[in-house]
Amino acid sequence: MRTFTLGTFLETFWLGINNLRLHKLRSALTALGIIFGVAAVICMLSISEGASADEMRLIQLMGTQNIIVNSIKPEGSVQSSQENTRMLEYGVTREDFRLIRETIPHVKHVIPMKSIGFGVQFRDRKIAWSVFGTTPEFFETVNVEIERGRALTAEDMLDQKQVCVIGQDLARELFGYEDALGRSIYAESANGFSPYAVVGVLRAVITAGTPARGVDERNLNRESYIPFTTAEANYGDIMVRRASGSREMFKLDYSSLYVNVDDVDHVLPVSQMVERVLEHNHEAHDYEVNVPLARLKLAQKKKANQQLMLGFIAGISLLVGGIGIMNIMLATVTERTREIGVRRALGARQRHITVQFLVETVVLSTGGGLIGIVLGCVAAMTINRLANWETIVEPWTVIISFTLSALVGVFFGMYPAIQAARLDPIEALRHE
């Protein structure tokens, strides 16, 4: 009785490989379904991973322990007594700031933001980018680093100093290759131009291939920040905007508040308390509460669903490839019926025939899987360069794709292999 030893397995293995080599074109065409299926899985999931990474990083830059309260312009307005002039009073107030800071537990910092300018100028260069008044805790709370110079300090706040910290893009646009530190820029507002000495430049904040809009989805690289006390002393709460012969006046205490919570587990309960405070103080809905942690969880769930859907769609290609392998192998069984009969007559057992045909299908599927992995990675890099989309090929994507290709070979090759092994040797020898 012939046992199935390692030598017998190797002999059967090489027999299957040699049969594939005898039909190179047919083997290559059969493997195409697996190749393109694996490449599709890797390429589609890498695109999804890159898009998700962009959103995830943007949300994380907003700070998962932060709650952002923004003032939003109401639909109605209150007309003043002057012709062609109107006053809009809305948004987050000092009372909101006090109540949130003093009555809500687990609040570490409440950081006010006041928009005071709509343009900056250095010499003859003028750019319509924003200027905000804020406190020194702002930079730590939103995880923004200083590349050169320093951040705003408590001394700047106490003395109401005319200093500013500017973003990377703003420094480059205004100063080019000159050092921005120590130079003065002019912030344009309704009150005219005010000078501010540059004491710090922010490190460039980059998300997945795009400039970061990390805080409240703004581009931090294009903004400048002055001490909050300086902003209040110089500009007050009323802003004036002129357009088409009319003048629009805004009374706005804060453009936004950043509520920093002491622990991530307290973020959602604190956000609910913040909303109740605002609902109690505001008749009109002239604010919005943005919770990055809630958005992060929603984005993670969305990412998982999207990857499952894309993986399912791409997996159909693997299914089609597996059906192609089964179809070819069933035709091969019929074509090689006499060969099977000869092998059985010479002593080969059913398991030897089964292994021979399984070797052929697994080699086709795993070889196609390896080629598909290379093709999928190349396609992902090509899309990254040509379309400027970030594509991320995760190791688990490669492992799952290769494993699926091997399983497809075993699953769809098993039936033809069993059919071949069950052929009657005498009937097989009579086959023409």
**Domain ranges within the chain, ordered by starting residue:** 6-58+299-430, 73-285
Q: What percentage of the chain has pLDDT greater than the value 70?
A: 80
Beta bridge partners of 70: 256, 288
Residue 1 CB-density burial (10 A; 0-12 exposed, 13-18 middle, 19+ buried): exposed
- The region of weakest confidence among 12-26, 311-325, 398-412 is 12-26
Q: What pLDDT, on a 0 to 100 scale, did the predictor assign at position 154?
A: 94
Residue of 405 and 202 predicted with greater confidence = 202
Q: pLDDT tens digits for 250-280? A: 788 899 999 999 888 888 899 999 999 999 8
Residue 105 has pLDDT above 70, yes or no: yes
Report whether 214 contacts 62 (CB < 8 A): yes
For the segment 214-233, the average pLDDT, to the nearest whole number, is 80
Q: pLDDT tens digits for 245-257? A: 566 677 888 999 9
Q: What pLDDT, on a 0 to 100 scale, did the predictor assign at position 155?
A: 95
- The region of weakest confidence among 40-54, 123-137, 173-187, 337-351 is 337-351
Residue 322 has pLDDT above 90, yes or no: no
Closest CA to 127 of 90, 95, 174: 174
Distance CA 401, CA 31 (A): 15
Model pTM score: 0.64
Planar angle of CA 324, 330, 331, nearest 5 degrees: 90
